[in-house]
Structure 1
Amino acid sequence: MMSTPSAIARSQPIAIAAKKPTNEFRNIQSRDHNISASMSSNASVESSTANTRTRKDRPCDACRRRKSRCVIHEGQPTCVLCQFHNQECTFVQSPQPRKRKLVSTEGKEEPSAKRRSPDRSDERQKKPVESSLSSNGVSSSLIEEMANIGGPTMLKRTLGLQNDRYSQYIGPTTDFEPSLIDLSTFDPQDESLLSRGTLRKVSDMDTFLMLPDSNTPGYEHVLEDVEAIENIVSPHGPALLELYFKIIHPNFPILQKTVFYEKYNRSHREFSPPILAAVYILAINWWDHSEELVKIPKPDVMELERLARITLADAMHRPKLSTVQAGLLLSQRPEGDQWAPTAQLVAIGQELGLHLDCTNWKIPPWERGLRKRLAWALYMQDKWGSLIHGRPSHIFASNWGVLPLAKSDFPDVEFDETDILEIAEYERGCLLFSQMIILSQILGEVLDTFYTLQAIRTVDIAGLQGTQLVLQLAKPVQITLKEWFAALPACLRMDSATFSNSPSTKLSSIGFLHLAYFATEITLHRRIIRSLTANFAAPDPYILNICRSAAKTRLISAMDFVNRLTSSHLRAFWYFASKTNFALIGTFGSLLWATAPGREEAEWYRRRLGEYRWTLGVSCKGGDSEGGNGRLTEFAMGMLDTSTGLLKSLPEKPAMSRVESEAENLANVQPRTLAEGYGYSVYSSGGGFGTGGPRDGAESEDGLGARSGLASPSTSVSSSGTSAMGFGNGEFKGVYRGGEDY
Structure 2
Amino acid sequence: MTTVVAMQPVMPRPTPIPIAAARPRKQQRSPPGRDNLLQAKPVSSSSVTSVANIRTRRERPCDACRRRKSRCVIQEGAVLCVLCEFHKQECTFVQSPLPRKRKVVDDSKKTETSQKKSRSVDAEPPPLALPTPTITATAPSPPPVQPPSGHNSQEIPQLGETLGLQRRQHSRYIGLSSPFDSLLIGLSHFDTRNESTFDLGTLRRVNDHECFIMLPDENTQDYADEIETLKTIEQLVHPHGPALLDVYFRTVHPSFPIIQKHLFTERYRKGDRSFSPPLMAGMYILALNWWSHDPDLSRYPKPDAARLESIAMRSLSVAMDRPKLSTIQAGLLLLQRPEADSWSLTTQLVAIGQELGLHLDCSSWSIPLWERGLRKRIAWALYMQDKWSSLIHGRPSHIFGANWAVQAITDDDFKEEDDGYETTQEETDEDKAQNERGQILFAQMIRLTGIMAEVMDTFYTQVAIQDFANAGKESTRLILERAKPVQIKLKEWFSKLPASTRMDASSGNRLSSTGYLHLAYFATEITLHRRIIQSLGPSTSDPYLLYICRSAAKTRLISAMDFVNRLKPEHLQAFWYFASKINFTLIGTFGSLLWATAPTHEEAVFYKTRLREYRWTLSVSSKRAEFLDYAVQMLDASRAMLNNLAEKPSLAQQISSAGVPPPAPVPVLQRNLSVLRPESEFERQQQQSGRPGGGEVNVQEPGLLSRYESSGSFHGFGNEGFEQFGSAGSGGTLTAEGSLSGLGDH
Provide the rounded CA distance (Å) in 1 between the counterparts of 2:691 and 2:444. Answer: 32
Cα displacement string for residues 60-114 of structure 1 (whole angstroms, at most 9, x for unaligned residues): xxxxxxxxxxxx99x9843349976556779999969x99xxxxxxxxxxxxxxx
- For the pair 1:197 / 2:201, whether they are aligned, the reply is yes
Cα displacement string for residues 113-135 of structure 1 (whole angstroms, at most 9, x for unaligned residues): xxxxxxxxxxxxxxxxxxxx993
Structure-1 residue corresponding to 2:50: none
Q: CA deviation at 1:482?
A: 0.4
Counterpart pick for 1:634 among 629, 640, 645? 629
Q: CA deviation at 1:415?
A: 7.0
Q: CA deviation at 1:741?
A: 13
Cα displacement string for residues 617-649 of structure 1 (whole angstroms, at most 9, x for unaligned residues): 0000122xxxxxx1x210000000001110011
Cα displacement string for residues 160-212 of structure 1 (whole angstroms, at most 9, x for unaligned residues): 00000000000000000100000000011110001110000001110000000
Counterpart pick for 1:707 among 667, 691, 696? 696
- For the pair 1:412 / 2:416, whether they are aligned, the reply is yes
Provide the rounded CA distance (Å) in 2 between the counterparts of 1:716 and 1:588. Answer: 23
Structure-1 residue corresponding to 2:316: 312
Amino acid of the residue matched to residue 642 of structure 1?
A: A
Structure-2 residue corresponding to 1:48: none
Counterpart pick for 1:595 among 580, 594, 597? 597
Q: CA deviation at 1:246?
A: 0.6
Counterpart pick for 2:667 among 662, 666, 672? 672
Given that 1:542 and 1:668 are in contact with CA atoms closer than 8 Å, whether structure 2 keeps it comes out as no
Q: CA deviation at 1:215?
A: 0.2
Provide the rounded CA distance (Å) in 1 between the counterparts of 2:308 and 2:401. Answer: 37
Q: CA deviation at 1:136?
A: 3.5
Given that 1:324 and 1:349 are in contact with CA atoms closer than 8 Å, whether structure 2 keeps it comes out as yes
Provide the rounded CA distance (Å) in 1 between the counterparts of 2:536 and 2:279. Answer: 48
Structure-1 residue corresponding to 2:728: 727
Given that 1:583 and 1:639 are in contact with CA atoms closer than 8 Å, whether structure 2 keeps it comes out as yes
Cα displacement string for residues 261-295 of structure 1 (whole angstroms, at most 9, x for unaligned residues): 23323445411111111111111111123232110
Given that 2:555 and 2:679 are in contact with CA atoms closer than 8 Å, whether structure 1 keeps it comes out as no
Q: Give the stretch that moved more between structures: 648-657 or 264-273.
A: 264-273
Tell me the secondary structure at the aligned position of residue 167 of structure 1.
strand
- For the pair 1:146 / 2:158, whether they are aligned, the reply is no
- For the pair 1:215 / 2:219, whether they are aligned, the reply is yes
Structure-2 residue corresponding to 1:118: none
Tell me the secondary structure at the aligned position of residue 213 of structure 2.
strand
Provide the rounded CA distance (Å) in 2 between the counterparts of 1:634 and 1:697. Answer: 26
Given that 2:599 and 2:658 are in contact with CA atoms closer than 8 Å, whether structure 1 keeps it comes out as no
> Taking structure 1 as reference, are residues 716 and 393 closer, same or farther at Cα in structure 2, changes over 3 Å only?
farther
Counterpart pick for 1:26 among 1, 4, 7? 7
Provide the rounded CA distance (Å) in 1 between the counterparts of 2:16 and 2:438. Answer: 44
- For the pair 1:690 / 2:687, whether they are aligned, the reply is no
Tell me the secondary structure at the aligned position of residue 728 of structure 2.
coil
Counterpart pick for 2:642 among 637, 643, 647? 647
Tell me the secondary structure at the aligned position of residue 339 of structure 2.
coil
Provide the rounded CA distance (Å) in 1 between the counterparts of 2:284 and 2:693. Answer: 48
Tell me the secondary structure at the aligned position of residue 211 of structure 1.
strand
Provide the rounded CA distance (Å) in 1 between the counterparts of 2:595 and 2:362. Answer: 49
Tell me the secondary structure at the aligned position of residue 363 of structure 1.
coil
> Taking structure 1 as reference, are residues 203 and 232 closer, same or farther at Cα in structure 2, changes over 3 Å only?
same
> Taking structure 1 as reference, are residues 725 and 346 closer, same or farther at Cα in structure 2, changes over 3 Å only?
farther
Structure-2 residue corresponding to 1:574: 576
Structure-2 residue corresponding to 1:119: none
Provide the rounded CA distance (Å) in 2 between the counterparts of 1:338 and 1:695. Answer: 40
Provide the rounded CA distance (Å) in 1 between the counterparts of 2:551 and 2:412. Answer: 44
Q: Give the stretch that moved more between structures: 22-31 or 553-562.
A: 22-31
Q: Give the stretch that moved more between structures: 334-343 or 268-277.
A: 268-277
Tell me the secondary structure at the aligned position of residue 199 of structure 1.
strand
Given that 2:173 and 2:211 are in contact with CA atoms closer than 8 Å, whether structure 1 keeps it comes out as yes
Provide the rounded CA distance (Å) in 2 between the counterparts of 1:338 and 1:697. Answer: 37
Structure-1 residue corresponding to 2:483: 474
> Taking structure 1 as reference, are residues 725 and 547 closer, same or farther at Cα in structure 2, changes over 3 Å only?
farther
Structure-2 residue corresponding to 1:436: 445
Provide the rounded CA distance (Å) in 1 between the counterparts of 2:488 and 2:10. Answer: 62
> Taking structure 1 as reference, are residues 666 and 277 closer, same or farther at Cα in structure 2, changes over 3 Å only?
closer
Provide the rounded CA distance (Å) in 1 between the counterparts of 2:413 and 2:613. Answer: 44
Cα displacement string for residues 362-409 of structure 1 (whole angstroms, at most 9, x for unaligned residues): 000000000000000000000000000111000000000000001000
Provide the rounded CA distance (Å) in 2 between the counterparts of 1:249 and 1:635. Answer: 25
> Taking structure 1 as reference, are residues 214 and 545 closer, same or farther at Cα in structure 2, changes over 3 Å only?
same
Q: CA deviation at 1:300?
A: 1.1
Amino acid of the residue matched to residue 636 of structure 1?
A: A
Cα displacement string for residues 317-349 of structure 1 (whole angstroms, at most 9, x for unaligned residues): 000000000000000001112100000000000
Structure-2 residue corresponding to 1:465: 474
> Taking structure 1 as reference, are residues 31 and 243 closer, same or farther at Cα in structure 2, changes over 3 Å only?
farther
Tell me the secondary structure at the aligned position of residue 678 of structure 1.
helix
Q: Percent identity?
A: 49
Provide the rounded CA distance (Å) in 2 between the counterparts of 1:277 and 1:306. Answer: 10
Given that 1:324 and 1:348 are in contact with CA atoms closer than 8 Å, whether structure 2 keeps it comes out as yes
Pairs aligned (count)? 621
Amino acid of the residue matched to residue 562 of structure 1?
A: V
Amino acid of the residue matched to residue 684 of structure 2?
A: G
Provide the rounded CA distance (Å) in 1 between the counterparts of 2:151 and 2:267. Answer: 12
Residue correspondence of structure 1 range 237-256 to structure 2 within 5 A: 237-256=241-260
Amino acid of the residue matched to residue 135 of structure 1?
A: Q
Counterpart pick for 2:609 among 588, 594, 607? 607
> Taking structure 1 as reference, are residues 299 and 606 closer, same or farther at Cα in structure 2, changes over 3 Å only?
same
Provide the rounded CA distance (Å) in 2 between the counterparts of 1:201 and 1:430. Answer: 31
Structure-2 residue corresponding to 1:425: 434
> Taking structure 1 as reference, are residues 202 and 582 closer, same or farther at Cα in structure 2, changes over 3 Å only?
same
Given that 2:549 and 2:676 are in contact with CA atoms closer than 8 Å, whether structure 1 keeps it comes out as no
Provide the rounded CA distance (Å) in 1 between the counterparts of 2:667 and 2:571. Answer: 43
Tell me the secondary structure at the aligned position of residue 180 of structure 2.
coil
Structure-2 residue corresponding to 1:341: 345
> Taking structure 1 as reference, are residues 590 and 30 closer, same or farther at Cα in structure 2, changes over 3 Å only?
farther
> Taking structure 1 as reference, are residues 694 and 242 closer, same or farther at Cα in structure 2, changes over 3 Å only?
closer
Given that 2:693 and 2:732 are in contact with CA atoms closer than 8 Å, whether structure 1 keeps it comes out as no
Counterpart pick for 1:326 among 317, 327, 330? 330
Gaps in structure 2 of 5+ consecutive residues:
21-60, 71-82, 99-107, 116-143, 418-423, 709-723, 736-743
Structure-1 residue corresponding to 2:536: 532
Q: CA deviation at 1:677?
A: 1.9
Amino acid of the residue matched to residue 472 of structure 2?
A: G
Q: CA deviation at 1:220?
A: 1.5
Structure-1 residue corresponding to 2:457: 448
Q: CA deviation at 1:259?
A: 1.7
Structure-2 residue corresponding to 1:176: 180
- For the pair 1:619 / 2:621, whether they are aligned, the reply is yes
Structure-1 residue corresponding to 2:40: none
Cα displacement string for residues 676-706 of structure 1 (whole angstroms, at most 9, x for unaligned residues): 42346759777x4327978789999xxxxx9
Provide the rounded CA distance (Å) in 2 between the counterparts of 1:345 and 1:326. Answer: 10
Q: CA deviation at 1:235?
A: 1.3
Provide the rounded CA distance (Å) in 1 between the counterparts of 2:95 and 2:670. Answer: 82
Provide the rounded CA distance (Å) in 2 between the counterparts of 1:697 and 1:35. Answer: 59
Provide the rounded CA distance (Å) in 2 between the counterparts of 1:289 and 1:698. Answer: 25
Tell me the secondary structure at the aligned position of residue 203 of structure 2.
strand
Given that 1:549 and 1:716 are in contact with CA atoms closer than 8 Å, whether structure 2 keeps it comes out as no
> Taking structure 1 as reference, are residues 266 and 480 closer, same or farther at Cα in structure 2, changes over 3 Å only?
same
Q: CA deviation at 1:728?
A: 3.7
- For the pair 1:79 / 2:68, whether they are aligned, the reply is yes
Q: Give the stretch that moved more between structures: 283-292 or 23-32.
A: 23-32
Cα displacement string for residues 438-461 of structure 1 (whole angstroms, at most 9, x for unaligned residues): 010001000000000000000000
Q: CA deviation at 1:661?
A: 5.0
Q: CA deviation at 1:660?
A: 3.7
Structure-1 residue corresponding to 2:306: 302
Structure-1 residue corresponding to 2:587: 585
Provide the rounded CA distance (Å) in 2 between the counterparts of 1:609 and 1:657. Answer: 24
